[in-house]
Amino acid sequence: MYASKVLKVLYSPKKTLKEVVQDPKYIGPLLVLILFIAVNVASAYIVLSKEQYEQILPNGTKLDEWTENSALWTSNANVTESGDAINGTIYGNASIAFSIQNSSQTWMQLTGIGTVDCSGPNGFNLLSFRIKRTSPVTQPENVTIQVFSFNSTSHYFYNDLTDTFSNSTYNIWNNVTIPLASSVWHSTGPNVDWGNITGLQLQFTWASNSNVTLLVDGLFFHGPFKFLLETEGTAYLLNYAVSGAFQFAITWILLTGLIYVLVKVFKGKIVWKPILIAVGFILLTMFIGALITAIGYTTLPTLRFPFELINGVQGEGTAALNTISNQTALATQIGTIAQLLVWAWTATLAALAVRLVTEFSWAKSVAVAIVAYLVTIILAGLIA
């Protein structure tokens, strides 16, 4: 019976709200709350089943840990932590500085990273890092990289990066991205395996001795693109259930409270429970808006979020962001229309509820409803 009464708000609001005000019961708003939570979770599932994120190592709470701690590195140079670091959300506050005096060569070695699978379609197939050369001004004559296997510095793949650094810029962070497990790599023999990578070494050589200072930051292995539900599990959807419940509760309490206060300001008579239950019923509009938005999400193609978009470096993810913006344009338009519909519909029903509860004139009821709902939207946005 109450389920049908909830739905009657959509096509017979005056009669339904009059019945609700005369016999206020919490079961109606609770049904609306359940519907809103359900559509929120469904919307989240639709979106998360469309979004793929590039996997990286380190990940989770360990982002950029390999270039935050100088103790992880060995070198023929002096190894320290520098405050000169990449300005991005995942790059931390430090880089690793390697300094050596009067030398033509410096090398830097990172081990103890665990075992990284760089083989097959599900392996990490790219390596990226940032290099800043603050001394000397001249470019290196030769640059090589070694990738160790099975925790042995004697068993490794190696690659010549001289061409990669031939156009490197002095005293500027240079972004280097290297494909792994490709034909450009050579190995020391059969005792190496791309499925068991445990460290790496970079070596820089100049034509003559000089004072060398190199900074390294943001070293990551890049893997395949995976759906968030694949990496986080379906339990991740509980976050959206909680978020939906919180959004509904905040809107319900704020709108009811503001109507109650404004009616008192205008010297009207009002009882808390009837207006509370009536507002709970009219917030079925939130469910309708969320349902329309969810339908809009079904138009989305698969969205791929590359490392450049999630690393937080200004300007690097512009191309990817433009692509995603174009792909989501229709869904965004549908969501905007749904939001405007919810605002107009909710304000109209709120005005009707105020009139039924207080017997205010239509002009005063509309004024109370609009002011209360506008303030509710603002406060709910700030709280969220």
Judging by DSSP bridges, how do beta strands 95-116 and 126-135 pair with one another? unpaired
Per-residue model confidence as pLDDT tens for the chain (384 residues) = 667 778 888 889 999 999 999 989 999 999 999 999 999 999 999 999 999 999 999 987 778 899 999 999 999 999 999 999 998 888 888 999 999 999 999 999 999 899 999 998 889 999 999 999 999 999 999 999 999 998 888 889 999 999 999 888 899 999 999 999 888 999 987 789 999 999 999 999 999 999 999 999 999 999 999 998 888 888 889 999 999 999 999 999 999 999 999 999 999 999 999 999 999 999 999 999 999 999 999 999 999 999 888 777 777 888 888 999 999 999 999 999 999 999 999 999 999 999 999 989 999 999 999 999 999 999 999 987
pLDDT per position as a tens digit, 264-308: 999 999 999 999 999 999 999 999 999 999 999 999 999 999 988
The residue ranges of every structural domain in the chain are 2-53+228-383, 57-226
**Phi/psi class of residue 287: alpha, beta or left (left: φ > 0; alpha: ψ in -120 to 50)?**
alpha
What's phi and psi for 257, nearest 5 deg?
Answer: -65, -40
- Give the pLDDT of residue 1: 61
Q: Model pTM?
A: 0.82
**Can you give the C-alpha Rg of the chain in angstroms?**
30
In this structure, whether the domain defined by 57-226 belongs to CATH 2.60.120.260 is answered with: yes
Burial 228-254, CB ≥16 within 10 A → b, else e: bbeeeeeeebeebeeebeebbebbbeb
Find the helix packing angle between 329-358 and 284-297, rounded to 10°: 170
